Structure 1
Amino acid sequence: MFTLIKNANVYAPTAIGIKDILVAAGKIVKIENHISADALPDIDVIDMQEKTLIPGFIDGHVHLIGGGGEGGFHTRTPEALLSDLTLAGITTVVGLLGTDGATRHSESLFAKVKALTTEGISSYMFTGGYKIPTNTITDSIQNDIIFIDPVIGLKTALSDHRSSQPTVDELARMASEARIAGLVSGKCGRIVVHMGNSPKGFDPLFELIEKSDIPISQFIPTHVNRTKHLAEQGMEWLKKGGYIDLTSGVDPDLGARGSIKTSSFFKQCKINGLDTSKVCISSDGNGSIPVFDENRALVGIEVAGFGSLLDQFKAMIHIENLSITEALAPLTLSPANMLGLASTKGSIAVGKDADFLILNEDLSIEHTFAKGICHVKAGIAQIKGTFEK
Structure 2
Amino acid sequence: MKRLVILGGGESGVGTAILGKKKGYDVFVSDFGKIKENYREVLILNEIAWEDEQHTEALILNADVVMKSPGIPDKAPIVKKLVAKNIPVISEIEFACQFTEAITIGITGSNGKTTTTMLTYHLLKQGGLNVGLGGNIGKSFAWQVADDAYDYYVLELSSFQLDGIVHYKPHVAILTNISPDHLDRYEYDYQNYINSKFRITMNQTEADYLIYDADDEASNEWLKKNTVKAQLIPFSVSKMIENGAFLKDNTMEININNEEFLIETDQIALEGKHNMKNAMAATTVAQLMKIRKQTIRESLSNFQGVEHRLEKVLKIQNVQYINDSKATNVNAAFFALDSMTTPTVWIVGGVDKGNDYSELMPLVREKVKAIICLGIDNKKIIEAFGNVVDLMVEVDNMHDAVNTAKHMTEKGDTVLLSPACASFDLFENYEDRGNQFKREVKNL
Q: TM-score, with normalisation over the residues of structure 2?
A: 0.26
Larger RCO (CA under 8 A, 6+ residues apart): 1
Structure showing greater Rg:
2
Higher strand share: 1
Q: TM-score, with normalisation over the residues of structure 1?
A: 0.29
